[in-house]
Chains A and B, each alone.
Chain A
């Protein structure tokens, strides 16, 4: 794949770099893990395989070899050879065709998965780009014009999905089946983010607990892969006490003394010293990471058990998707 135009911030990311947090090495990885997992399932990859994460303004990519791809996540108006291409489904692209992105219609981050995964060297067991420390991914940085990326060896499943496509002389062919369920980002309520109370929830005044769950918070432009800063009613603790730094996670909501919540995301630090008012339920990470500055959300309190049940439910939907693809492969239903 040759990068004709890099887009605003296009990086190679996988499921994250685990096992080095004790040295202060952050996890990194994709922001929208659900979109990445679905993308990889659709092209027959391991769910953790490396993909391209594209933000707000997507890149322009020329495929130098015939490839099996899919675009998932936010709608950045993808086109192939200037024809609109549908997302959330496997697509065959012929060598010499160009994938472009246009306006950011919904969401904020799109993902390009390719059969075999994006192949860059592993650093500390991961292909994720760690932008601030400048390592991992493609030369430790966001993609630039002229960069050339290769894909890894496709799995048997990936080859079988590609073999469903016929009429391979066309510049591209979309499959007639897609990932459609209540989990699809277009169909869910983007504005309600569910959370489990954090370790310092009880440190906040009753009034602040109510404001947190009953008023809207707006995403500010001071938001990136490290964390999202929201603004809204100021959240106050009953008394100030200096915290002892400890581990934080994807979706931890910290409140510095100024009173605005910060949601920690893929490039979060490994430990933090601000009070944790809440922890977002993992099933809602995908919603949060697709927000754009200026958009408003409400936070809704659920229990730990409810959050765990939602994780299980999501897993079942993903398994159904895998089974659905297996069925297509068994039937040998041709595409194109």
Chain B
């Protein structure tokens, strides 16, 4: 497997497994993540799978004290990751489920819908149509609990992030950043262009795993009216 390792400070290393957001990179990331989950490295604290990378967090002291030679913690971690990557068997990707997420587009729920439309010389309705026709692959969860980073959005509605991130984005907001789309599960700051909102909860600490969707799943968005949004929201509570 092709890979590159680079430090993220003195306690983490980024494993680069591809240069573009493709299903191929996704599978390489997923394979390494499944391996690390089943065979944690000594001194590893956590790992974060992303589109093209897996970031491995470690305690440098634990890594150091468990080594006999003069290698630095970073060198030890890199040697171990290198060995894993060279020898890892290709696993079959787990079967994916498809999750339908209802979205009320525009209005106060999607304050940037007009901006996304104007940036792409489209009408707001065309943006909604393009966004809800796609099938999206959940590449990773991150940024906030249960926040799915999705692949498969049409370039026709791609829009750069806001220049200055917003201080508050309401839970359930559906947004676009570059050629990525996603849903905000909790209220948080962020720089995405907001086009709508879902009444569904994407994160629940009483569930195991605590998220509605997992990496590897497929998602579809279904446009709903404001009244449908309100009755679904009531049903959730």
Contact = CB atoms under 8 A, between A and B. Distances in A.
A46 to B, nearest CB: 14
A199 B61 contact: no
B187 A23 contact: no
Interface stretch (A80-88, A91-99, A111-119, A303-311): A303-311
Interface stretch (B97-105, B111-119, B163-171, B226-234): B163-171
5 contacts: A23-B141, A24-B145, A24-B185, A271-B142, A311-B10
A258 interface: yes
A23 B211 contact: yes
Interface residues of A, number: 51
B10 A18 contact: no
B48 A23 contact: no
B189 A22 contact: no
Interface residues of B, number: 61
A142 B176 CA distance: 32
A21 B146 contact: no
Interface string B73-100: 1100000000000000000000000000
B208 to A, nearest CB: 10
A10 B161 CA distance: 34
Interface string A116-158: 0000000110000000110100000000000000000000000
Contacts of B57: 18, 21, 247, 249
B20 to A, nearest CB: 8
Interface in A230-252: 242, 244-249, 251-252
Interface of A: 18-27, 123-124, 132-133, 135, 196, 198-199, 222, 226, 242, 244-249, 251-252, 256-258, 269-274, 276, 279-282, 304-305, 307-308, 310-312, 315
Given A25-B210, A249-B11, A304 B74 contact: yes
B142 A258 contact: no
Interface in B175-204: 177-180, 185-189, 191, 203
Contacts of A312: 60-61, 64
A247 B145 contact: no
B48 A247 contact: yes
Nearest to A307: B10
A24 B141 CA distance: 5
A311 B9 contact: no
A305 B7 CA distance: 11
A24 B53 contact: no
Contacts of A304: 7, 10, 72, 74
Contacts of B45: 18-19
B189 A25 contact: no
A198 B47 CA distance: 18
Contact of A21 (B47, B149, B186, B189): B47
A146 to B, nearest CB: 25
A124 B215 CA distance: 19
Interface in B40-55: 45-55
Looking at B45, B50, B64, B165, which has the most chain A CB atoms within 10 Å of its CB? B50
B60 A311 contact: yes
Nearest to B36: A22
Contact of B164 (A26, A124, A249, A258): A258
Nearest to B182: A245
Q: Which of A196, A273, A311 has the most CB of B within 10 A?
A: A273
A124 B10 CA distance: 26
Nearest to B190: A269
B48 A271 contact: yes
Given A21-B47, A258-B163, A308-B72, A270 B142 contact: yes
A247 B8 contact: yes
A256 B165 contact: yes
A7 B127 CA distance: 47
Nearest to A251: B9
